[in-house]
Amino acid sequence: MSDSKQKEIDAFFNFFSTFDLTNPVSSLTDLSDGQALFEILSVVDADYFRQSTRPTAQTSDNWVLRFSALKRLYRLMTQYFMDVLHKPASGLDVPNLHAMAKDSDDTATLIMCRLTIVIGVQCHKNKVFIDKIQGLSQIDQQSLMRVIEQIINRINREENNSSMLGEASMTEDDHYYRIQSEKSAILNEKETLEKVYQQLLEEHRLLQTTHDDTLSERGDLIAQLKEARREADSRRSDGKADAMLRAEIDRLRTDLQKSEDNLAMMENELDKQTALGTDLTRKVEDLQAQADEASKLKDRVDELRHANEKLNKVENVLDKYKKKLQEASELRQRLKTLEKQNADLVDQNASLEEEYRKVAAFKPLMESYKNQISDLEHKASSRTQDMETLKFELEQARTKLKILTEERAKDSETIELYQERVRELELSDPRPPKSRARQDSIDHAASSGDALASPGEEVDDEEDENAMGLGGELHDAESGTTMTDLKLQIRKLKRELEAVRKNEADASRVLVLENLLDDANRMKSRYEADYLATHREKLVLQRDLEEIRSGKSMGDGTLSAEAAIALRQRLNESVDQLDVLRKEHTELEVRFETQSKELTIAKSDLTLVNKDQLDILASLRESVNEDKAGLEADIERLQRQNKELAEKNRMQLEQVNALLLEKVNLQSEGIGQREKMLQRERDFGDLRASLSGKDLPEDIKQRLLALHEDNVNLKESLKTTSEKLTKAKAFIKNQDKLYREEQAGKNVGNASGMFEEGEVSMRSQIKILEDDLERQKALNVELKKRYMLEQEV
């Protein structure tokens, strides 16, 4: 016995010890009569699991009674599963009740214990059982919970299978399980009948010996009777002795009559025992034939299972080949579409080469125009840069002018103070001033300072003219880009443009150049706007930098050291950010150019791809519709076949029910014959007991001879009846064989010709077709999604 099984047995013993049982359970032998299990199940439902009224001691001594009690308990368990718990009982293990009742088999006992604890956990009083389980040790709880989980999972799987397949359907495993259970039941019944037959043979042998003894005693009694008659004849003279002898004769006659009755009863009992022996022999032969048939059916089931596995492998190979053929057809379609695309691309390539030959003549002219446009852009950018610098210088000049006006006001005040001081000195000094010209110059300077310190409206009006007139003209003169030079260059460019337009020989060239010029102007305007914005920010930053470096603030003229340091750090960070932005700008320009090129290529390819996808989708829709129609036709055909097979199944069930009824009738007749033989044996026993030491009269002998002849005739009739029965069985087997051959001829696609295999193969084919249909639907949905995504792109 394995450790796990021993742990499970110990766990059940500990669990049973929590109940108040009449006989405590300490070994497997205590469970062989089912008394403890009945008491535990009475906690679940006392009315349903009602115990038998037979005494416990009698049940525990006789294993046949224990076997019948266990059969009753197992029947109640299965009925409780189906009637109360509404669970299928077909998924439960079938215990060997014969081995459990006779030898206390551990496997069968464990199966019964498992069913008991599962019923307790599943019933409406499950809280009692759960509390008792929780009160056990951890190891016992684990063992019991593992057993409960296994059985419940098996029941749930069987329930799911039964719900999917229906109550009337039967899978191959169910059929195999039913055959195994019937085989085990038949073998158990066969062993039981053999043992009963052996017991009856022993009893028959004992009765035969007692019958022989009775016959010998009868001979002795006849001899004694003859001797008594001779003595009676010799003593007839004596009247008293004669009366005594007559009384003795009467007594012997009454005893002889009793012996005759007992002999008749014994003969009847002997006939019953003989009939019972023949019946048991016939049953043993029938059961042996059924056991052989069950073994043949098992071998047949194994062969069919092996054939089914081969068929599944062949179907898988066929599916692979179908997939390969579908892929090959798809590759052919793709190859055709690619060939069409290649032809279109060759045509496009030829047309592009023709256009390139036409455009090649304009290539030098285009290059010159591009160079001129780039030069003009460079000049325009330089001019905008100069303009921005001039604006910045103008702002600087304005700030400087403001500072100078403030300083001039301060100087004028200082001059007035000096003039007052000079006047005071002149008044205090009698000498005339050395030079009046100096005073006049000072007055002139003061007056000029007053004039310069006039209101800000005149200064503001003259700032633009001074800045543009002086600084701008000087800067333009130095750089060689004065207004006159620019006007001359513009006129020169206009003349060149007019000359180019006059010298154009083809209108297409002008159109191409205009398009290029428009694109260049748009790019130029965009770049100019970006450049001006960046340049303005740069000039503002330069101005702030110069003010910071000069130690002046932008507001009130005071700047702390911390603010200067913070501004310098901010300036450094701004310079770094500017460098990073420039790098990113160049990278983005490169990426923009590459992406624009890729976009044009993708647009050209997208038209072809969409066309290709549309063709593929159309072909796929057609193929899917064809497959769908084929699958629907197959499903209808399979449904018709399923109906036909269900009708055949119903007919076979009716035949099986008729055979079972005939079997029940034969068993009832056998039971009646057995009772008759038992009665005859009892009569023979009484007859032997009454005939011990006594002789029989002639009429009794005649009756015995007649009974013996009747017994012989009955044996002959029984023999003829048994021969007829064997012939009928052979005829039934022959008809069954012919029926199976006919079914095999009708079902050409079914190798075995049996209904169960046909039903299983039909279910497998239906499942495969349903899987194919689901796969095609999923593929169709995926193709629709891809098509919608491509349409959105």
Span 47-71, average pLDDT: 69
Question: In this predicted structure, which of 138-152, 382-396, 583-597 has the lowest mean pLDDT?
Answer: 583-597
Are 11 and 128 in contact, with CB atoms under 8 Å apart? no
Are 3 and 121 in contact, with CB atoms under 8 Å apart? no
Coil, helix or strand at residue 430: coil
Q: Residue 269's beta-bridge partner residues?
A: 680
Span 302-330, average pLDDT: 82
697 vs 319 pLDDT, higher one:
319
pLDDT of residue 405: 87
pLDDT of residue 500: 66
Dihedral sign for Cα atoms in the order 496, 498, 501, 504: negative
* Residue 722 Ramachandran class (φ > 0 left, ψ -120 to 50 alpha, else beta): alpha
d(CA 646, CA 308): 21
Residue 64: count of CB within 10 angstroms of its CB: 14
| pLDDT for 179 beyond 70 | no
* Residue 50 Ramachandran class (φ > 0 left, ψ -120 to 50 alpha, else beta): beta
Q: Which residue carries 């052979």 as its tokens? A: 730
Are 711 and 270 in contact, with CB atoms under 8 Å apart? yes
CA atoms within 13 A on the CB side of 775: 10
User: Each residue of 542-554: b (16+ CB within 10 Å) or e?
Assistant: eeeeebbeeeeee
pTM above 0.75, yes or no: no
Q: Residue 265's beta-bridge partner residues?
A: 683
**pLDDT bracket for residue 99 (50, 70, 90):** confident
Distances in Å between the Cα of 217 and the Cα atoms of 221, 222, 232, 269, 700 are 6, 9, 22, 20, 16
Span 8-29, average pLDDT: 83
Residue 441: count of CB within 10 angstroms of its CB: 11
Q: For residue 762, what are its two tokens?
A: 């039909």
Would you say how long the chain is, in residues? Answer: 793
Contacts of 379 (CB under 8 A, 6+ apart): 489
- Report how far apart the first and last C-alpha atoms of the chain are (Å, whole number): 71
pLDDT of residue 731: 67
**Continuous H helices in 429-482:** 436-452, 456-466, 473-479
Query: Which H or E run contains 529?
Result: helix 507-550
| pLDDT for 642 beyond 70 | yes
CATH class for the region spanning 3-167 = mainly alpha
pLDDT of residue 473: 46
| pLDDT for 314 beyond 60 | yes
d(CA 778, CA 774): 6
What is the tens place of the pLDDT at every residue in 202-226? 888 888 888 777 787 777 788 877 8
Coil, helix or strand at residue 453: coil
**pLDDT bracket for residue 522 (50, 70, 90):** confident
Residue type, position 211, single letter: H
Q: For residue 368, what are its two tokens?
A: 């010159």
What is the tens place of the pLDDT at every residue in 280-300? 888 878 877 777 777 778 777
Distances in Å between the Cα of 344 and the Cα atoms of 123, 522, 607 are 78, 35, 12
Q: Residue 680's beta-bridge partner residues?
A: 269
Query: Which H or E run contains 425?
Result: helix 363-428
Burial class for 488, CB neighbours closer than 10 Å (0-12, 13-18, 19+)? exposed
pLDDT of residue 457: 39
Residue 690: count of CB within 10 angstroms of its CB: 20
Burial class for 587, CB neighbours closer than 10 Å (0-12, 13-18, 19+)? exposed
- Return the closest-CA partner of residue 362 out of 512, 503, 518: 512
Longest C-alpha distance within the chain, in Å?
Answer: 235
| pLDDT for 653 beyond 50 | yes
CA atoms within 13 A on the CB side of 94: 13
What is the tens place of the pLDDT at every residue in 462-519? 444 444 444 454 455 445 555 556 666 777 777 777 766 666 545 555 566 677 777 7
Torsion of CA 696, 697, 702, 707, to 10 degrees: -40
Q: Which residue carries 């003595």 as its tokens? A: 231
Helices 138-165, 126-134: inter-axial angle, 10-degree rounding: 140
d(CA 700, CA 259): 9
Q: Residue 683's beta-bridge partner residues?
A: 265
- Return the closest-CA partner of residue 29 out of 62, 60, 68: 60
Residue type, position 127, single letter: K
What is the tens place of the pLDDT at every residue in 384-420? 888 888 888 888 888 888 888 888 888 888 888 888 8
Q: For residue 388, what are its two tokens?
A: 């921005």
Give the domain ranges of the chain. Answer: 3-167, 189-342+619-787, 361-559
d(CA 593, CA 170): 72
Span 332-344, average pLDDT: 83
* Residue 480 Ramachandran class (φ > 0 left, ψ -120 to 50 alpha, else beta): left
Distances in Å between the Cα of 413 and the Cα atoms of 59, 439, 446, 453, 597 are 143, 16, 9, 11, 72
